[in-house]
Every structure is written in C-alpha cells, then in structure tokens.
C-alpha cells in the first residue's frame, strides 16, 4: 500500500488530469502485479460522478482483505488540485502463506542448528563427565561385602592435573569403603556381644519390648522370655496382639494419658506401673521403664522398654500402703493439729493440720526439736516432759501463739504414749480457739459499744436542749441590745439610757464579740451533735445520689472532733489538703455506710501518723477525687510511716491489726472493704511504702446523668 501511494498515486493523478485513461489503465495493471493486490479503481472527481473511470482486477470474495482509498492530488501552477480517488483492495491470504512458509524455514534452520550444538555438548559431557559417572554407578551397583577390597578407579588422563569434583567423589567412595570394612568388623563384635546379652536377658525376669509409635503400640521386637508373662513372641510379632490389648482395661486410659504427658513434656525416659491380663486370665502387676526413640528430625518412631513382673511385691506393698494410708488418713482427717514427740521433745509424728498451720512438711520437721518449730512451747516444755514422765494426760487452755505478728490462742492437750517401741513420748493436740476467743471479746466489745452508742445518742439529745437554750438566749440578747428595734429604744428612753452609747461600750469592751463567739461555738456544737446522731443511727441500706465532696467534708467534720488521750492523737493537728475534680458524677450510696468507711480511713491515718516523728514537717492528709472511666475515684493519702508489704497484704483481713492490745479489733478496714466491694460494687485498694506514707483508693460506680 505504501509503494502504491509513493510510486503510482502521483502518476495516476497526472494522467487523470490529462484525461489519459489509457495511461491510467497501464498504471493500474502495473500496480495489480504487486504481491497481494487484487483490485484497483480510479474515480474522477472533476467529472461530477462517483462511478469509476478505470479499474483493474477483481474484488476478492473473502473477508480477509485490506482496502485503502488514496486521494489523487495534482499540482497545477503551484496549487494542489484534488482530481480523483484511487481505491486499492489487497488479499491477505498470500501474505499469511508467505509468512507461514518463512516461519517454517526459520524454525527448521534453528532446530537443526540447536540439535547439532546440543549433540556436540552432549559428546563433550559424555567424554568429560558421564562416562565417569557410569563407572561410579557400576561400581556402586556391584559393591557388596565380598568386594569391598576392590577400590574405585576412574579412567582419566593427565595424572598431574588438579583434583576436581569427580576425583573427590571417587575418593569419598574409597573412604566409605574403608569405613565400611571397619564398621563391619565392629558390627560383628557388637552382634556377638548382643547375642551374649540376649542370653542373659532371656534367662532373667526382665522382658524387653520395642513398640512402634502407632495406635495400639504394635510390637516391633520382644525378647523370648516373654513366656514368663504367659505370652509367646509370635503372639506379638505376628501383629495379632498389640501391646495396648494386654493392658488391663481399667489402666489403659491412665497409661495412654501418662505417655501423652511424657511426650508433651519431651521426656525421653519414664517409668510406669500397671496391670496386664495374661491369656489364661491372670492379672499381673508389671513395672515398665520406657525409652523414647526419635529419628533425625526429632520425630518419635518407637518406644523401647523393659518390663518386669512385680505382682508379688505389689501385693505386699498394697497391703502396707492400705494400712499406712488408713492410719495417716485417720490422723490427717483430724482438724486438730497433731504433733508426736519423743521423751526428748523431738518430733516423731506430724499430721496435715500441723503442716497447714506451719507451712512445713513432714520431711522438714522429722527429728527436729519441738521448740525449733513452735518457739511458743519453750515455756511449756517442762509441762510436756512432766506429762510424758508421769504418763499423765495434761491440758492447758488459751496458750498464746505469735504468727506473722498476730496473736493466736490454742488449747494444748498432752497424751503420753503407752508401750511405745521408741520409748517414752507423747501426742500433742492443739485446737485453735483464736476465733472463739475473739468472738467472745467481740461480743463483749459489741455490747460495750452498743451501750456507749446508746449513751452517746442519749447524751446528744440531752445536750441539744441546753444548746438550744444557749443559742436562743444569745440571739435574744443580741436582739434586745440592738438600737434598730423600736421597742428597745422605747424602753431605754424610759430608763434614761442611750442605746447607741451602750452599743459602743459593748463593742469597745468586746462583749459583742463574746456574744458572737458564743453563738458560733453553739452552732458548731449543734452541728457536731447532729453529725453524731446521724452516724449513730442504724443503717437501713437506703441509697441516695450524693456527691463525694460533701460526704468527705462531712466525714472530716466528724473526724476533726476525734481526740483520744489514750491513742495519743488529735485530728485537728493534721494538715488537710483537698484536691477535688470539678463536675464529678454523683454516686448511688448508703450515706452512713460510706461515712463509716471514710471515718475508719481518717482515724487509721491519724493513728499511724501519731507514731511517726515528723521533725519540722507536719502530718498531712491529702484528699483527692477524680473521674476514672465509669467510676469516681477517691484517694486518701497520708505521709505517715507507711507499711511493710506483708502488712499491706493483710490490712483487709478480719481481726488483723497492727495496733497495740486494746487499741483496735482489726475489723475497721475489713468492714470497710465489705461495704465498698459487696454493698456498693466498688473497689477498695491500698498502696504503701515504708517511710513514704499510705494511700487508700476507693472506686465507686458513678451515675453520669445524676
């Protein structure tokens, strides 16, 4: 098409301009001879018609054609004139045939060339490598025990050349041959030793087994002396009987679980005891020592074990164990601490209650002096030894024990041993009566507190009456001295007094200040009485929405009036610092219960700080409130002596106290914990470090929309 456009289009345009149709036809015939061209036609645009004025060839009937139209432009006096159009139709069938033919020739040529090159390369490889590899393969195929003396030799020229990979392979084969000769000799010696070992095993009560690590543990190898268990080697080696089949049905789950646990823990050696059922129905106890066999990747492929019949020994052991367990269970089932001692006071018996009491096992205390384990018995040792020497039962009540800083009380009973093979001795029984004693003390203390509480409530009511009279009298006095009331002015005039002068006199002499002081003190006293009355009322667990700030302030007001000469602290001497976050949600609480919690914390903090020497520093109590997610967080932090970790962990335990005897029952914080955690679904935490103070943290659910 490009050739027609370049070579024929201008000539045809010139001939058409000259109206030389014959010359046009000659040009068309010439273009028709080009490869693939099948039809050409020329249209004269200057004639005003679309019919072709000249054509050559025929339009192909196939659809695989290309048709192009070329404008015929002729230059006349420097101007291009469009004189007509040349339409060319080409058939692609011949083009495709020529392409296929050329591709075939190229591929054939390349294939022949590639084949010749590959053949040449193969010949080189065969000469340099393949024939030597064939020699190695033939040598390996023919190698057996009888031909190990013949070395591998490769037929290669130039013995002075540098050693290459083929030489290294031949050298490795020859080294392997020499090693095999040595290994065979060792194996013969090993086999002889193994044969002798087998003779020893077959004449011993030990049966050797090797099991596959598969379901049911099929037996891979078993020693001939398995007949002493009632089986023959053929029973197992034939595969008819797997080792799991001979284990007693009641022991199978345990044995399978134990093996699985040993495998999980990657133990390569373990021992087991279980029963097997012989073909004649006998049940035998066996002791099995198993070794795990793994492949190079660490995968378990089999188990090797030695099995021995221990039925007779097991029977005797079971009887002894039964008797021993019966005795031990009887002693251990006793809730009382039982300790046996000899005539010198060394421990010869120890039950579970004693172990739980002291945290020491029988192995820890066997043969140890009783005083070493129970130092509290040092003063009672003569009492115990006297009971042993006289063979008399003795008893002491409420013997004090100090355990972890706490005092426990126990009743001690001494029962001398009669006709003991070990000589004299005794059994000591110790019953813990601490709770009983404390409950008795609690009942007494509760009765006292109820009486004191009732008395305080009655006194508060009685105090309210004179307080009311005092406040009413002060207010009346102030009103009757005021010149602003006409009645006061009238009466003063009748008596010849100037109320303004009286007021000035009372002001200069401080009488008005005294009256205001009396009024303020009376109101404070009335507020204190109201707080005492509210706190002393029995809680009916009626909840209400309250802000923690007001509750803290009210609890502080109660605590500020707590002064105890016996406890040696005054709350008013403490520096109170407030760090309250604004806009906190309210909490749904029982007011008196939470007051009790805060008051307990404040009083404990004051008591702790009273025992610290602050020097130039003042005792300080910091109250802090924050929003903590869905909770309201209240922190009460002091700068007192702090607590050791073992004390901090136990502050919420009932009856645990660090105060001296008579100063506390150890119930304040435990009751507070119960109120916060159980009654109010909150959290109660304590953080402390010795020398740096203590911080109590309370988290109560907040009511956002309150």
Note the pLDDT tens digit of each residue in 494-541.
Answer: 888 888 888 888 888 888 888 888 888 887 777 666 655 554 554 455
Q: Is 342 helix (H, G, I), strand (E, B) or coil?
A: strand
Segment 450-466 shows an average pLDDT of 63
Mean pLDDT of 307-318: 82
Taking the C-alpha atoms of residue 381 and residue 238, their distance in angstroms, rounded to an integer, is 72
* 113 band by pLDDT with thresholds 50, 70 and 90: very high
- What number is the average pLDDT over the span 131-157? 79
Least confident stretch, 22-26, 452-456, 677-681: 452-456
pLDDT of residue 108: 93
The backbone region for 304, taken as left when phi is positive above 0, alpha when psi lies in -120 to 50, beta otherwise, is beta
Residue 448, φ and ψ in degrees, nearest 5:
-60, -45
Q: By percentage, how much of the chain surpasses pLDDT 90?
A: 8
**The tokens of 253 are what?**
């789950």
**CA 339, 345, 347, 348 torsion-angle sign:** negative
DSSP 8-state class, residue 130: I
Query: What pTM was estimated for this model as a whole?
Result: 0.32
52 φ/ψ angles, rounded to the nearest 5 degrees: -70, 145
pLDDT at 661: 46
**Long-range contact pairs involving 96-104 (C-beta distance under 8 Å, separation at least 24):** 96/64, 98/35
* pLDDT above 50: residue 629: yes
Range 256-275 burial, b when 16+ CB lie within 10 A, else e: eeebeebeeeeeeebebebb
| Lowest-confidence region among 33-47, 242-256, 391-405 | 391-405
pLDDT at residue number 622: 92
- CA Rg value for the chain: 57
Q: What is the mean pLDDT of residues 59-75?
A: 85
Nearest by Cα to 683 from 664, 697, 670, 695: 697
pLDDT at residue 636, as a whole number: 92
Torsion, Cα of 216, 222, 225, 226 (10° steps) = 10
Average pLDDT of the chain, as a whole number: 81
* CA pseudo-torsion sign 216, 217, 218, 222: negative
Contacts of 327 (CB under 8 A, 6+ apart): none
Tokens of 427: 């059994």
CB 502 within 8 A of CB 481: yes
Element (H, E) at 411: strand 406-416
């Amino acid at each position: 098409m490009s050739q027609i456009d370049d070579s024929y289009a201008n000539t045809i345009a010139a001939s058409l301009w000259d109206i030389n149709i014959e010359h046009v036809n000659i040009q068309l015939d010439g273009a028709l001879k080009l490869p693939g061209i099948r039809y050409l036609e020329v249209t004269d645009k200057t004639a005003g018609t679309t019919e072709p004025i000249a054509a050559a060839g025929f339009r192909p009937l196939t659809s695989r054609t290309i048709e192009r139209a070329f404008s015929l432009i002729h230059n006349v006096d420097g101007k291009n004139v469009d004189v007509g159009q040349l339409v060319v139709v080409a058939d692609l069938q011949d083009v495709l045939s020529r392409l296929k033919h050329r591709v075939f020739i190229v591929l054939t040529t390349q294939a022949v060339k590639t084949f010749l090159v590959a053949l040449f390369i193969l010949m080189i490889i065969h000469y340099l490598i393949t024939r030597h590899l064939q020699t190695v393969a033939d040598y390996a195929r023919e190698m057996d025990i009888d031909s190990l003396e013949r070395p591998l030799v490769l037929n290669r020229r130039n013995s002075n050349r540098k050693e290459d990979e083929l030489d290294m392979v031949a050298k490795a084969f020859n080294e392997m041959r020499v090693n095999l000769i040595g290994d065979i000799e060792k194996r013969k010696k090993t086999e002889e030793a193994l044969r002798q070992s087998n003779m020893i095993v077959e004449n011993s009560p030990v049966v050797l087994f090797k099991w596959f690590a598969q379901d049911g543990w099929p037996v891979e190898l078993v020693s001939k002396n398995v007949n002493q268990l009632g089986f023959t080697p053929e029973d197992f080696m034939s595969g008819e009987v797997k080792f799991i089949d001979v284990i007693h049905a009641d022991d199978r789950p345990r044995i399978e679980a134990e093996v699985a646990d040993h495998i999980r823990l990657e133990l390569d050696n373990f021992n087991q005891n279980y029963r097997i059922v012989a073909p004649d129905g006998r049940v035998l106890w066996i002791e099995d020592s198993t070794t795990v066999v793994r492949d190079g990747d660490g995968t378990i492929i089999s188990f090797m074990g030695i099995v021995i019949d221990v039925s007779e020994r097991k029977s005797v052991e079971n009887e002894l164990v039964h008797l021993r367990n019966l005795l031990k269970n009887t002693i251990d089932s006793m809730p009382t601490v039982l300790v046996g001692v000899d005539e010198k006071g060394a421990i010869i018996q120890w039950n579970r209650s004693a172990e739980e009491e002291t945290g020491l096992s029988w192995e820890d205390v066997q043969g140890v002096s009783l005083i070493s384990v129970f130092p509290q018995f040092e003063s009672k040792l003569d009492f115990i030894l006297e009971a042993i020497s006289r063979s008399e039962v003795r008893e002491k009540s409420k013997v004090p024990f100090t355990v972890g800083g706490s005092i426990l009380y126990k009743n001690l009973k001494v029962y001398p041993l009669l006709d003991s093979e070990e000589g004299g001795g005794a059994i000591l029984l110790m019953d813990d009566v601490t709770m009983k004693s404390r409950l008795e003390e609690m009942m007494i203390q509760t009765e006292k507190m109820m009486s004191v509480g009732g008395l305080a409530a009655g006194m508060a009511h009685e105090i309210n009456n004179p307080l009311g009279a005092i406040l009413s009298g002060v207010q009346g006095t102030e009103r009757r001295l005021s010149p602003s009331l006409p009645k006061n002015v009238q009466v003063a005039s009748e008596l010849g007094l100037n109320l303004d002068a009286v007021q000035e006199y009372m002001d200069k002499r401080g009488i008005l200040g005294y009256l205001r002081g009396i009024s303020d003190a009376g109101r404070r006293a009335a507020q204190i009485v109201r707080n005492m009355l509210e706190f002393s009322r029995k809680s009916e667990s009626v909840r209400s929405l309250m802000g923690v700030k007001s509750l803290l302030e009210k609890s502080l007001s109660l605590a500020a009036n707590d002064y105890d000469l016996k406890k040696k602290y005054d709350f008013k001497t403490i520096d109170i610092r407030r760090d309250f976050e604004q806009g906190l949600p309210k909490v749904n609480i029982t007011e008196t219960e939470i007051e009790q919690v805060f008051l307990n914390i404040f009083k404990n903090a004051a008591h702790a700080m009273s025992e610290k020497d602050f020097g130039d520093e003042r005792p300080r109590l910091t109250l802090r409130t924050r929003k903590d997610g869905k909770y309201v967080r209240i922190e009460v932090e002091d700068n007192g002596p702090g607590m050791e970790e073992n004390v901090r962990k136990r502050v919420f335990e009932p009856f645990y106290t660090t105060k001296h005897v008579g100063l506390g029952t150890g119930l304040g914080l435990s009751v507070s914990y119960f109120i916060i955690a159980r009654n109010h679904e909150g959290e109660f935490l304590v953080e402390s470090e010795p020398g740096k103070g203590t911080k109590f943290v309370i988290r109560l659910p907040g009511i956002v929309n309150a």
